[in-house]
Structure 1
Amino acid sequence: MTNDCELTFDQQRLKQEIRTTYARVAEEPDGDFHFHRGPEYAASRLGYDRAELDTLPDSVTAPFAGVGNPFHAGELPRGARVIDLGAGSGMDCLLAARRVGPQGEVIGFDMTDAMLRTAAEGAAAAGANNVRFDKADIADLPIADATVDVAISNGVINLSPEKARVFSELYRVLRPGGRVQFADIVIQTELSAAAKNDIELWVG
């Protein structure tokens, strides 16, 4: 049984801390971080195809910091419209773009400018014309109702202090029959109110 806990910290400060951390990841992917990164980790621990990752720009794969592999949840339909919540350096978006084909579309949303620059430059280098990246908070998606076939996300929803709004937005933007394929962190024990309101623990 879980108990609701009011979040008393400054949520805007949390978001700024997240931007700062992931800007560092984008700019210094080999830096000192507590979480795993890079294509070797993605292939050996998460089941990505290393040969496929090797065809992507290093600037896209090196900052990858996901926690799972959303593509294991199902094949993306050809011609589908896909969004990625918290696209980071864009690795999953480029992989999704290949799966949906030139008639499909992939939109990556992120709130960190450095990651958005890295992702856009990587897409251009890869010649991925069916991908674009937009700045957005995943709890407030700038996209019309019922226009998305599949939403993916990889290790990002856990960072949002507004999870109910995130899932409400997903429900809003998905077409009837659309689906969500995401990988994330789940804590199996109840946290104290102090822990839930510790920004350092949220950022990681």
Structure 2
Amino acid sequence: MATDCEVTLDRERLKKEIRATYGRVAEEPDGDFHFHRGPDYAATLLGYDRAELDELPDFVTAPFAGVGNPFRAAALPSGARVIDLGSGSGMDCLLAARQVGPRGEVIGFDFTDAMLRTARTGAATVGIDHARFERADIAELPLEDASVDVAISNGVINLSPEKDRVFAELYRVLRPGGRVQFSDIVIEAELSAAARNDIELWVG
């Protein structure tokens, strides 16, 4: 299997297509998309606690399109500083904020404006003021070195054409002893160059 899959597609066009797709998910979560969404999916197939999801606004949980449950790896420490790479509608961030408590901090990074608006409204609706959401590319985090206890992510790193930079950023921002808890898609078969550079396949 190849250890380095060259990506020659137009990266800015790819990011534009990702923003457009997930912008539609934020605004029309019941629309026609090929991937699963919503709280029933999260609870039934991914192991989220349905009671915890029911405490969040429907407009936050409905656009959820993660692929796993990063919280199953371990509970988040009370008072921790947590970041979410590709925070979407904010569901995981709001759950994380409840785990770390008011002495902690959760920062969600996303570059889809509609998702950021949804997440910010959700945090305000449930009265969580120690979670905030910033527009950023996950390959270039606006954070100081060694400033994060735990990084989570859910089905987003696979969308980045700059995965080496994403993991370098995680290494940079995590404190000694910090950890990453993420769920994502892994393809075991080697893809052809044509498939690796097909924007429609990346976006789904």
Using structure 1 for the length normalisation, give the TM-score. 0.99
Unaligned runs of 5+ in 2: none
Distance 1:178 1:6 in 2: 30
User: What's the % identity of the aligned pairs?
Assistant: 79
1:132 is paired with a residue whose SS is: strand
Residue 70 of structure 1 aligns with which residue?
A: 70
Equivalent residue for 2:105? 105
Match of 2:16?
A: 16
Cα distance in 2 for residues equivalent to 1:25 and 1:6? 29
User: Per the alignment, in what secondary structure is the counterpart of residue 144 of structure 2?
Assistant: coil
Q: What residue in structure 1 maps to residue 132 of structure 2?
A: 132
Deviations 1:107-139 (A, max 9, x none): 000000000000000000010111000000000
Matched with 2:161 is: 161
Corresponding residue number in structure 1 for 2:146: 146
Classify the secondary structure of the residue corresponding to 1:179: strand
Following superposition, the deviation at residue 8 of structure 1 comes to 1.4
SS in 2 for 1:178: strand
1:5 CA drift (Å): 3.3
Structure 1 position 61 matched with structure 2 position 61:
yes
**What's the secondary structure of 1:97's corresponding residue?**
helix
Residues 3 and 173 (structure 1), Cα distance of their counterparts in 2 relative to 1, 3 Å cut: closer
Alignment of 1:85 onto 2:85: yes
The Cα shift of 1:3 comes to 4.6
Q: Compared with structure 1, are the counterparts of its residues 3 and 169 closer, same or farther at alpha carbon in structure 2 (3 Å cutoff)?
A: closer
Q: 1:4, CA displacement in angstroms?
A: 2.5
Give the partner amino acid of 1:137: D
SS in 2 for 1:153: strand
Partners of 1:120 and 1:77 in 2: CA distance: 23
Measure, in 2, the Cα distance between the counterparts of 1:87 and 1:191: 28
Supply the distance in 1 between the matched residues of 2:53 and 2:4 (Cα, whole angstroms). 41
Secondary structure of residue in 2 paired with 1:191? coil
Task: Please give the alpha-carbon distance, in whole angstroms, between the structure 2 residues aligned to 1:179 and 1:105.
Answer: 15
Structure 1: gaps spanning 5 or more residues:
none
After superposition, the CA RMSD in angstroms is 0.6
- TM-score scaled by structure 2? 0.99
The residue aligned with 1:25 is 25
Partner SS for 1:167: helix
C-alpha distance in structure 2 between counterparts of 1:90 and 1:195, whole Å: 31
Structure 2 Cα separation of the partners of residues 151 and 58 of structure 1 = 25
Deviation track 1:149-172 (CA, whole Å, cap 9, x = no partner) reads: 000000000000000000000000
CA distance in 2, matches of 1:52, 1:5: 39
**Partner residue of 1:52?**
52
2:175 — aligned with what? 175
1:193 is aligned to: 193
